[in-house]
Structure 1
Amino acid sequence: MAEEGYGEVGLYGLAVMGQNFALNMASHGFKVVVCNRSPAKVDTTVKRAADEGITTLTGVKSPKDFVAALSKPRKVILLVMAGKPVDDTIAQLAEYMEEGDLIVDGGNEWFPNSVRRSKELEPKKIMFMGMGISGGEEGARNGPSLMPGGPKVGYDMMEPILTKCAAQIGEEPCTTYCGEIGSGNYIKMVHNGIEYGDMQLIAEAYAVMKQIVGLDNDKMSAHFAEWNKGDLASYLIQITADILKKKDDKTDDGSYVVDKILDKTGMKGTGRWTVQEAAEQSVPAPTIAAALDTRFLSGRKDERVAASLLLKGPSEVPSVAHEQIMEDLQAALYAAKICSYAQGLCLIKAASDKNSWNVDLGECCRIWRGGCIIRSVQLDHMKAAFVKDPTLKNLMIDPDFAASLNQRQAAWRRIVTLCIASGIPCPAFCASLNYFDSYRTKNLPANLTQAQRDFFGAHTFERTDMEGSHHVEWTDDHKKIDGIEERTWGNL
């Protein structure tokens, strides 16, 4: 057992992420105390630390001993399953904690839960933070992107640990103070939403390469690897190149693993939350929503198989030079990805304004440059855009990004047109292009929609030539029944 007051920081929850982040902190010289609901995982973590030559990690087997082993004010990181397990763990630990102590939840949590937990701990004057962690198992061990939100004094207590254990880009750690409680969870949620969009766009590019161009896995892998040297350089492009060339070690027929994977996409909820929040904040996020819808459709495998026997695609498809397709595809993927980031950043800004978080979008881009799943070379340019203009309404209207999108739009349109004409689904490419076209359109047909709303519901509308709200009696061809207007539609 650890001596009383030994640990500088405690970590409770030793599944994959927890174990690796505990080893990360200990390998940076911090005195870490670990605990877990099942004691066997404590032993596993302690042994792994010893095997790696780490001498500053200690394991304990009970919540009481865990809290006692930490120096005051105590700092505890939770990495347990979101929801009720977090509440149960907080209740266990808070029984032994005192005023001025800090609990940091590092899970993927719905941000209102963090706000609620913070308020529930206020009577005991225990501080609470919600901290998004991105990077998966490798990131947790070697340096993730960390997104902490909560009381500033709590962040200051954690700052020496977070800045050393986060991913490092040059001399800059991929972490920052995100804002008050809820902000860190929200930024991580949106990060995951952008990730959904990015992954779907890459999948659609893969479908074009495979089904239209007819490339084999090795050639597709080579293209992604080449793209990773240019303006598409990113973690997801890099791993796609690796995935496509991986041979199946369970067979001896020279096949590839990716070709044996069932086309049903899993999810853990953060993409759904992002789309729900986009609706709540009235922020368009069509690329992310299209990615989520495609995951839902992928889950209906049996229905799709049955439908494929009845519903037919085009009998004739366009003939386009393969070199042109690949050149256009690279440009289209870049442009569509920028739209996905733009939507996510707009959502963070809206929530920040509503909740008075004062989130710095340039800092969001900076801390996403390393450790996290959506890290990409373009984040440097995104950060620069918000540093140059902190009031920037949308990433697409930064002069540099606007020029890039304008330059690539013809190729982007050709890819969408080719997919539609060929019967290849491209929901995220289409959604991004429609977002671009809608945002750049001075006059949308929403005037007709408003007229319809006023016609059937007297919802009123604004005029271009007068102030105030207006309503029109659109037709005299109606009668009232029980106070409800019934219109005469003729012999329809």
Structure 2
Amino acid sequence: MNSPHVSGPLADAAVVGLGVMGANLARNLARHGYRVAVYDRLPGKGAALLARHNQEGHLLLADSVGDLSARLTRPRRVLLLVPAGAATDAAIDALTGVLEPGDILVDCGNAHADDTERREAALLGRGLHLVGAGVSGGEEGALRGPSIMAGGTERAWEAVRPLLESVAARAGTTVCCARVGPGGAGHLAKTVHNGIEYAVMQVLAETCDLVLRRTDAGHAGLADLLAHWNKGDLESYLVALTAAAAAHVDPSTGAPFLNVVDDAADQLGTGRWAARAALDLGVPAEALAQAVFARFISRDVEGRAAVRSAVGPLRVTPAQSGAGPAETDLRDALLVATAVAYAQGLDTIRAADAACGRVTDLARLTGLWRAGCIIRGRLLERISDTLAVRPDTPVLLAAEPLAEIVRDGSAALRRVVLDAVAAGVPVPALASVLTHLDQLRTPRLATAMVQAQRDAMGAHGYRRVDRAGSYHTRWNADGAEIPLDA
């Protein structure tokens, strides 16, 4: 490979893709003493980054992927922070032409685990390595210390480990950066992390909506309530962020920010991937799925308007003095819903490991989420502590502290959901959590009828509660039961 001549010291690593996350991660690396070559297909981004932040460390601007390659020590370590899908493939294709065997690409963007494993196999065939690294923490995390969940081979991981560990978040003496498994394990972990994030954000949003619609707290009162909750078991980054949003006043109108912001919520795909993974693996992760569906419905502006016009708008019953949900009920319902969201996400990761061996250590993974990441909080720390002591806990909701939370808060969740339904306030995620728990707790489900229906329509058979084996009833003949195991 012919590379352009470069004078001066070479860079320790490169960052390709200088959006907010890429630019901040490059700055983070530079602040830790690394010489960082930076490149973006839009040349103005790199120039602007150096103009504003070159004093923070050694940032070297490359004007092409060939120039970037020439500026790096061997083996080259290139961090990608580009949009998922075709953009990632295009960036990898461009870099493959200028890299050499032994060089390592680290995909720090969101990616589907299957795509990561496809790319890794293709690159290994050319002597190159790919580490799929899930990076959580948003723009502040990228700059000040994210949580990093890596996959890939042990050899590739060891080559990039010092680099990634140096810029990762710390929880006490623990570095929130580790290889969590082979192949696409890091991106699977980040995908499910984001699914949990979607669910927790949605139950928080629904709880806030209930406070505003069914109590007289107002936006200032909601902000105070969230700040108070954030001092107890609900303490988390997302609760603090939500309190700040509730307190924010729009500077142009003087109105509460929540009254002027559009309600059509975007999503970038990771929540959908998490819900799909749960579905494919047979995991009942209803809260994760409902959070995605809620965003889908919010985006269907024309459909919502058409139904309101045809059927009539939903009229919310205003709360009379003292008639809305109690503050303690709202708090306990939110805590239960958050606990179930965590459990459903971790159950999805455990099922993925059983199916294809991607993430093997939930205690280690949740330890990485103690700092830097979006879903960090006191409850997650308690779950991580439980898994550290009992890593083989088969059912998280049956283990402490989650079992205690469900025992103590289920009645409050039911009261909150009943109040919302009666008043006409949509709470899809909170209601899905209640239904999920009810199904787990009832000794006999309606699916007994489904067993009968399947046998009647397709002779699929059924099992009995009073004896072993599988059976079929001749529904369209004499109604006799015959064994299927004979």
Aligned to 1:172: 174
Aligned to 1:151: 153
Deviation at 1:331, TM superposition (A): 0.3
With normalisation by structure 2, the TM-score equals 0.93
Amino acid across the alignment from 1:292: V
Contact 2:316-2:425 at 8 Å conserved across structures = no
Aligned to 1:412: 413
Contact 2:119-2:130 at 8 Å conserved across structures = yes
CA separation in 1, counterparts of 2:461 and 2:7? 71
CA separation in 2, counterparts of 1:49 and 1:324? 50
Aligned to 1:60: 62
Aligned to 1:431: 432
Amino acid across the alignment from 2:369: W
CA separation in 2, counterparts of 1:353 and 1:258? 43
Deviation at 1:38, TM superposition (A): 1.9
1:34 aligns with 2:2: no
Equivalences for 1:38-437 in 2 at 5 Å? 38-50=42-54, 53-251=55-253, 254-308=254-308, 310-311=311-312, 321=322, 325-437=326-438
CA separation in 2, counterparts of 1:240 and 1:172? 27
Change beyond 3 A, Cα 1:223–1:454:
same
CA separation in 2, counterparts of 1:127 and 1:276? 28
Change beyond 3 A, Cα 1:218–1:316:
closer
Change beyond 3 A, Cα 1:3–1:12:
farther
Change beyond 3 A, Cα 1:97–1:414:
same
Aligned to 1:487: none
1:8 aligns with 2:12: yes
CA separation in 2, counterparts of 1:257 and 1:423? 23
Moved more, 143-152 or 331-340: 143-152
Cα shift readout 1:422-467 (whole Å, capped 9, x = no counterpart): 1111111111111112123333232221111010011112233343
Question: SS in structure 1 opposite 2:326?
Answer: helix
Contact 1:5-1:70 at 8 Å conserved across structures = no
26, 29, 48: which one pairs with 1:25? 29
Contact 1:131-1:147 at 8 Å conserved across structures = yes
CA separation in 2, counterparts of 1:378 and 1:2? 51
Q: How many residues align?
A: 474
CA separation in 2, counterparts of 1:275 and 1:192? 10
CA separation in 1, counterparts of 2:6 and 2:223? 50
* Unmatched segments (≥5 aa) in structure 1: 479-492
Percent identity over paired residues: 35
CA separation in 2, counterparts of 1:2 and 1:462? 73
Contact 1:109-1:185 at 8 Å conserved across structures = yes
Question: SS in structure 1 opposite 2:94?
Answer: helix
Aligned to 1:486: none
Contact 2:151-2:184 at 8 Å conserved across structures = yes
Deviation at 1:318, TM superposition (A): 7.6
Question: SS in structure 2 opposite 1:129?
Answer: strand
CA separation in 2, counterparts of 1:62 and 1:145? 30
Change beyond 3 A, Cα 1:415–1:439:
same
Contact 1:174-1:370 at 8 Å conserved across structures = yes
Aligned to 2:448: 447
Deviation at 1:177, TM superposition (A): 1.0
Deviation at 1:394, TM superposition (A): 2.7
Deviation at 1:305, TM superposition (A): 3.6
Amino acid across the alignment from 1:46: L
CA separation in 1, counterparts of 2:405 and 2:453? 38
Change beyond 3 A, Cα 1:10–1:318:
closer
Change beyond 3 A, Cα 1:409–1:54:
same
Contact 1:317-1:421 at 8 Å conserved across structures = no
* Unmatched segments (≥5 aa) in structure 2: 480-486
CA separation in 2, counterparts of 1:452 and 1:341? 34
With normalisation by structure 1, the TM-score equals 0.92
Contact 2:214-2:324 at 8 Å conserved across structures = no
Contact 2:286-2:436 at 8 Å conserved across structures = yes
Cα RMSD (Å): 2.0
Question: SS in structure 2 opposite 1:425?
Answer: coil
CA separation in 2, counterparts of 1:56 and 1:36? 17
Cα shift readout 1:275-322 (whole Å, capped 9, x = no counterpart): 111111011110111111111111223333443453465797886836
Moved more, 442-451 or 99-108: 442-451
